Structure 1
């Protein structure tokens, strides 16, 4: 059995080392979700446009991103960008850009499935009313698709929050890095990683419960 020192779990320690990393993890999750949904929607519309010159590059981007581990994308972008632009952009900025680009590929598939879940009859009805493709998508298809996809989008966001721990590879100060720093400074790495696991579990389990309740609520309405 490990000789655990539970006096390590103090609020002053958490506020000094962990909160900074927690704020960055939440910020990264929020920004990557917004950016991922925005660019993912554009990619999904490109793939559903029926035009090869739009569909092909979007498909290559989505399938390419989904075929590479996230940590490799983070490392590759962080290490290659200084050679391309001649200067470093910093670990935090690199993490934000990487996550938006990577998550856009996953959100794209969610958006595409949500759009395709809407009956084609509604598309034809919009055309019969004289709507353009953009108006039909904006006013008829996307609002319904977003409601259908909301539980899946939130589930992907929870996974995204878990994946923020991978930014340790480039030295960004996230939630896990905060616990790691506290454990090193006080010589209690076991307690630090154990508490980190508990915090991640409580946060993600709570959010998963909210998603489950939301899914039931939407299902009842429908």
Structure 2
């Protein structure tokens, strides 16, 4: 066992982790922004808007992430005539793909708030947007936090798929190190420990957030 290979290629592995972190951050922030807009559209009284948002969510949730990556990286440039870089394709894919899942999380959280809360807010003279911002969302967020954290774990695991567009994420960087040194046991054990530590840490946050939501 030669664990020195991890230290020797620490910069390569760190760069891969940075790419994974960037994809997770963009996917979460961008996905939640777009997902929130989609959730509001799905809950809209305008039927056409609700149907369009619902159709988008249904389509995206029905196809594999890797297919969406292929579409943006290989097919979209054929349609637009403009090439998209690997990072741009990956960031766009993760934002739009995750938005469909965040949309359903937000929608479920909003619908979980009793209708009486909105009626009571309206009775006090609050408008629809004030009711949503001051009454519904604060209660909905508490119920959504565990699901949002779970989705972040799934997103982190899904970043390993970006190898198909030649991006070097954490797992892909580990594969490169294995190819250079033929030390799969040490490298993949290290990768497994890192994934376990991150995912387990987030799972602890999920457990605490669930307890906080029940109080």
- TM class by shorter chain equals over 0.9
Deviation at 1:125, TM superposition (A): 1.7
Per-residue CA deviations over 1:76-102 (Å, capped at 9, x if unaligned) read 111112212323221111111100000
SS in 2 for 1:173: coil
Q: Which runs of 5+ in 1 are unaligned?
A: none
- So what's the TM-score if we normalise by structure 2? 0.93
CA distance in 1, matches of 2:17, 2:6: 16
Per-residue CA deviations over 1:26-81 (Å, capped at 9, x if unaligned) read 11111111111111111111111132111100110001000001111111111112
For the 8 Å contact 2:35–2:101, the answer to whether it is kept is yes
SS in 2 for 1:10: helix
CA distance in 2, matches of 1:83, 1:152: 37
2:2 to 6, 20, 34: 6
Question: Structure 1 residue 160 and structure 2 residue 125: aligned?
Answer: no
Please name the residue that 2:86 is paired with: 91
Deviation at 1:190, TM superposition (A): 4.5
Count residues in correspondence. 215
- So what's the TM-score if we normalise by structure 1? 0.90
1:19 to 7, 14, 17: 14
CA distance in 1, matches of 2:192, 2:137: 37
Which segments of structure 1 move beyond 6 Å, counting only runs of 4 or more? Answer: none
Aligned-residue CA RMSD (Å): 1.6
Please name the residue that 1:175 is paired with: 170
1:65-214 matches, within 5 Å, as 65-214=60-209
CA distance in 2, matches of 1:124, 1:109: 23
Q: Which runs of 5+ in 2 are unaligned?
A: none
Deviation at 1:187, TM superposition (A): 2.6
CA distance in 2, matches of 1:9, 1:137: 54
For the 8 Å contact 1:8–1:191, the answer to whether it is kept is no
